[in-house]
Amino acid sequence: MPLKNTPQRYGWLSIALHWSMAIAVIGMFALGLWMRDLSYYDPWYRDGPFIHKSVGIILLMMLVLRVLWRASNIRPDDAPSLKTWERITAHLTHLALYALLFAIMLAGYLISTADGRSIEVFDWFSVPATLHGLSNQEDIAGEVHEILAWLLMAIVAVHSLAALKHHFFDRDNTLKKMLGIAANPATPTSAQKEDR
Partner 1 sequence: MNRLIALGFALLLGFGATAHATEYKIDTAGAHAFIQFKIKHLGYSWLYGRFDEFEGRFNYDPKKPEASSVEVTINTASINSAHAERDKHLRGKDFLEVDKYPKATFKSTSFTPKGDGKAELKGTLTLHGVSREITIDVTEIGGGKDPWGGYRQGFHGTTEFALKDFGIDYNLGPASRTVQLILDVEGIAQNMM
Q: At what angle do helices 84-112 and 137-168 cross, to 10 degrees?
A: 150
Q: Which among 62-70, 84-92, 113-121, 169-177 is the span making contact with partner 1, rule CB under 8 A?
A: 113-121
Helix boundaries (H) for 2-136:
12-35, 44-71, 84-112
Describe the chain by its helix, strand, coil percentages, rounded to 5. 65, 5, 35
39 lies in the site for partner 1, by CB under 8 A: yes
CB of residue 29 to partner 1, shortest distance in Å = 19
Closer CB to partner 1, 39 or 184, in the complex? 39
139 lies in the site for partner 1, by CB under 8 A: yes
111 lies in the site for partner 1, by CB under 8 A: yes
Q: Which among 3-11, 19-27, 77-85, 106-114 is the span making contact with partner 1, rule CB under 8 A?
A: 106-114
117 lies in the site for partner 1, by CB under 8 A: yes
Residues 6 or more apart in contact with residue 97 via CB below 8 angstroms: 152, 155, 156, 159
40 lies in the site for partner 1, by CB under 8 A: yes
Sign of CA dihedral 76, 78, 61, 11: negative
169 lies in the site for partner 1, by CB under 8 A: no
Q: At what angle do helices 84-112 and 44-71 cross, to 10 degrees?
A: 140
7: three-class secondary structure by DSSP: coil
6 lies in the site for partner 1, by CB under 8 A: no
CB of residue 62 to partner 1, shortest distance in Å = 24
For partner 1, the binding residues (CB under 8 A) are: 39-41, 49, 111-115, 117, 136-139, 142
